[in-house]
Structures are given as C-alpha cells and as structure tokens.
Amino acid sequence: MGYNIIEEKDFEKARKKIREAKIKREKVAFINSDDELNRKILEKEKIDILLLKQAGRKDFSKQRDSGFNQVMAKAAKKTGTSIGIFLDEILAAKGKEKSRVLARIRQNIKLCNKNRVNMEFITLTPGKGREIRDLGALGLILGMPTWMIKTL
C-alpha cells in the first residue's frame, strides 16, 4: 500500500501534515469522522484517498448518514481523489451494525459510480488484508461496476 495515513481533528494541523507528506512524495490517505472537515480537506487539499468511517453513525429517519454526498463526489472527481472503503470496520462490525455499515458503503458506491470516482479498499491493521480477487468479489456484491473493480 504505502500510504501515509493522516488522522487529525484540526484543519490547520491536517493541512500541515498533508503538505509535509507531499514534499516527501508519499501517497496521502486522510481519515476522520467529521463530515465538515472531510469536505474541507477534499476541496482545499490534494490527497490521494479519503477514508470514511461508517461505524458508529446515526442514520436519519428516511435516509442513511454515510458521510458522503454528491457535492463531495464532485469535489473528489475534480481533484482526482479516490474514496476509501475501510475494510477493518466491515470485519469488526457484528449483527445489525454490520448490515448498516454495508448499506452505507453501498450508498457511497452508487454515488461514486454516478460521478465516476474511484474507490479502494484500505486496511490499517497488518495481516487483515485480503487478496485482490476477494476484494473484487466483495465489491461486485456491494454493487461496484466492473470499471471500478478493474482499478482496485
């Protein structure tokens, strides 16, 4: 993989770390659970992957809260940023929470497909990675189109 994973709660600190990583010519993945900060980073900074945390979110009465919307999808397409699927969350979730996480991921896949934004599976814990064929099969089940599977 070789990603420099940045997790910050403050925009200025995150911006500083992203720029330091870009000077070193490292690939940057940004992860945070704050939707406003994710959007700000996506629009103002050049990152390679935006990882969205799906576990622990509270859905609205008529729609899911996946932390990703059409505005962010257009910004990701404009900057060439991929959206990351956090594989550790899928593996750690149990019962109803797992079905909610998968439903939110499926919603994000539909948005990325409409806007032609690439998606990637990312794991943070060593030894939890899967083979590319297994990830492709999971992506197909979740609704990824074949063009997106080819870029995994």
Angle 70-79/96-115 helices, nearest 10 degrees? 60
Burial 50-84 (b: 16+ CB within 10 A, else e): bbbbbbebeeeeeebebbbeeebbbbbeebebbbb
* pLDDT computed for residue 112 by the predictor: 95
| Structural domain harbouring 68 | 3-150
Token pair recorded at residue 130 = 């899967």
At 64-106, the pLDDT tens digits run 888 899 999 999 999 999 999 989 889 899 999 999 999 999 9
* pLDDT computed for residue 18 by the predictor: 94
Q: Please tell me the total count of domains within the chain.
A: 1
Residue 41's CATH number: 3.20.20.140
Task: Pick out the chain residues at pLDDT < 70.
Answer: 1, 128
Phi, psi (deg, nearest 5) at residue 51: -90, 130
